Structure 1
Amino acid sequence: MSGLDVQPLTEGRNFGVRIRGITLEQTQDPAIRDEVNALFDKHGVIVFSDVEPSPRMHVALSDIFGPLKDHPSKAVARVDQDSMPGVIDMAMKPGEPGDIDVDGVTLASWLPWHFDHAYNNELNRAGVLRAIDIPPEGGRTGFVDGIDLYNALSPELREKIEDRNILYRMNVYMANYRFGAPAGYRVHSEKPSSDIVMEESRDVPRAVHPAVWTRTTGEKVLHVSPWMAEGIEGDETPEGEALLEAVSREIVELSKDLAYWHQWSPTDMLIWDNWRALHAVSGHPPKYGRRMQRTTIKGDYGLGYFEGGASNDNKIVERTY
């Protein structure tokens, strides 16, 4: 045995484990790499606590899980690509545009439940996050297991959504967020980078992903991203929209009990399974800043495609490292 300190994130739950104190040297040990990958496949989220808070540790941890892939949008800020290829930098400075009202509270950096790259035909395997600047209030990142969501979904909705495919488009204008929006949802302003992202994705066709898929281990996963969803393939009708809204609304409600919300420390890094989990950001008071860095692990589950049989040439350009 490797002697890794492994504990559940939530007692009595399979979703998520915490590994304390893994070292840079251990990330290069083949036996430890195999053990960590097995834990990831089984549990879907790993929080690495008490690790060296450095760019080299971020990249070394990410390398355990596979090659890195650049973010598909050129408008997303990058860290120095010579020293940290594939690392994106997500910073919100105090007072920047982008504030949103959620349940009567004005927040910066709030994001709804989603999976990454839903707007492409390929889905990256995972993301690895670390916090650089942590606001003293809020700023948590939430994760919910699609296996848990499928099992908890009402039987009526489960039957209706089981064999449906969902249409997605790169749409970062938060005013366009439609399905499962919280009470009192109001966008004060869009982020400055949103116009660039929308322009570069203007001619990309919509992507299609199954609402439910089955893992090789047999579990069914409810994998609907309320953010960037545009409708149900072949059923863009009032009835289809009502079904997608009902499923999205239930995801939001179920997540209140099922989600794990991570309160960040500078010595934390975290990986989540993008084929299995949804994630969200709680937001924080606009008077504070927040800065995160992320790597993306290449991979694809092989079930997505572009609407109308559009070719892979239509995808938003990506690079692998």
Structure 2
Amino acid sequence: MKKLLVPTAIAVVITILIITFGKINYTKYGVGFMGAIHLAILASTYAVVANAMYIWSGTKGRLGQAGASITHLGFGLMLVGILISSSKKEVISINRTGIMIPGLKDPKGRDDSGMENVTLIQGVPTPMGKYTVTYVADSTHPRDEKQYFKVNYERKDEISGKVVEEFNLYPNAFLMKAEEGRSALSANPDSRHYWNKDIFTFVTSMPDPESIKDTATFRNHPIQQGDTVFYSNGYIVIDQLIVANKETNKDLPLVDSAWLADVTVYSNEGMSYKAQPALFSKDNRPMAKRDTVISQSLVLEVNKDHQGLNIGVKESNAIMKYITLKAFQFPFINILWLGIIIMSSGFLISMIHRFKKSM
């Protein structure tokens, strides 16, 4: 009886300390659920303590004969890690951009809150908690239906403004056909590991490439330097028009003439973007150099007719690439990984011990 009372008492004390100082947060599920969680923590802690004491006293520290106890100790530690980390899980992808994507689902297929998902437009840095996050690029492989997204995380010192941490995560996702011809998203997360926490990031929404068709056309506007051209979400200011030809400018070795528009795009959200569409001519053949403002779904070009220069403005949803993602922070999840390592070691020790006995 004494052999049971000692590990039980130790487990109870450790459980009380975990619950008191660990601030296990399952309160939104009710008192009954919280009580069950406390009981699960006690059982998991008892498994760790009891098996550790058996390894020490029962096998006299002979680890080669304690494979089963090591496995159970690791399993108990893994459960403790799951219970603590899940209770302290924190959503860090709080949406402060005002961009809400409807119909979001969590990994279990349940409705998800748009306030906990951040939509990233490619190339546009977006604040997310302590980080500034940027959807940098994406890639696919002909033999893999998954689409891999490069997401850059950057954290700056609040006082100096210097970058103190930077890393890239590569979550992936693909669209599969569901019922009634609808598409369902299947996503795989990527994570950043720290000694005391992990950050998990996964994609919750992406545009369907098959449904995106560019049917928009350019609208031409005669321009002079200083003019303003309006579009549906703001206006474009022609800051400078540069005209050059080979006779007056020796810096044009590849073309005969060039017309460049240095413009600033001002959106209704208060953001501004620079763009430099241009038109070149070589042997009387025009060559347009278009510029895009992806966050505003704008394509700009310069063209010329007998009346002078024009700026072509096209608004097309086909050029804007975006993803919506959700990010969690799991504190103390390394307890889970440590438990898995110990449990796997116990399995291996048991296999080696049984193999030696059979010889």
State the TM-score bracket (shorter-chain normalisation). under 0.3
Q: Which has the larger radius of gyration?
A: 2
With a CA cutoff of 8 Å and minimum separation of 6, indicate the structure with the bigger relative contact order.
1
What is the TM-score normalised by the length of structure 1? 0.20
